[in-house]
Amino acid sequence: MRKDEEAKRIWFTSDLHLLHPKIVDICDRPVKVEDHDDWIIDTINQKVGKKDDLYILGDVSLGSKTKTEALLSRINGRKHLILGNHDKNIKHSTYFKNIWERKDFKFNSPSYPNIHIVLDHYPLASWNRKVHGSMHLYGHVHGRFDNRGLSFDIGIDANDFPLNLEEVIQKMSKISLRCW
């Protein structure tokens, strides 16, 4: 696969809140409570392929580890977790290729040279290499916070979900035009 094509196979999302029946009302999600988890899984699987990478920026589930892993097994892709405040139940799960508190994500290709994105569950006022144009993706706030600069809420309540790296770069390009 060409390196430029790889950007379409790296996905980001946050705040799934599987096994959390109150989240439908709290965030006004467009689904019935009883269909919530299937809706999340189906929406992700319509975009993410089995060999793609999926970065989940926290708050995967409020359910038990066993029930959560049963749902994770149905989600396509190699899953990577940035821990959120509701992830104590799965912080040692083997369903994730990697688990971090924060991740400096780097990508380089002819079309997308020297991409650097700081992945964190929480919105940050400043992050590694921000002054050099690095970007920041976060969740936690469910679309209820307007961060400044090359930063935005990747959570499912703030965007279509998931977004791939190419889509993220396009969104960040529009943000950078407004910021500078």
Non-local CB neighbours of 97 within 8 Å, separated by 6+ positions: 53, 78, 79, 80
* pLDDT for 179: 45
**Which pair of tokens denotes residue 90?**
């799965």
Q: What is the CATH number of the domain that holds 146?
A: 3.60.21.10
136-146: pLDDT as tens digits: 999 998 888 88
Element (H, E) at 173: helix 165-179
pTM, two decimal places:
0.94
Non-local CB neighbours of 144 within 8 Å, separated by 6+ positions: none
- Longest distance between any two alpha carbons in the chain, whole Å: 47
Distance of alpha carbon 151 from alpha carbon 148, whole angstroms: 6
Beta-carbon neighbour count of residue 116 at 10 Å? 19
Find the domain containing 128 and state its range.
3-179
pLDDT > 70 in the chain, percent: 96
Burial class (CB in 10 A: 0-12, 13-18, 19+), 171: middle
81-112: pLDDT as tens digits: 999 999 999 999 999 999 999 999 999 999 99
Banded model confidence at residue 163, pLDDT cuts 50, 70, 90: very high
Domain count of the chain?
1
Average pLDDT, the chain: 93
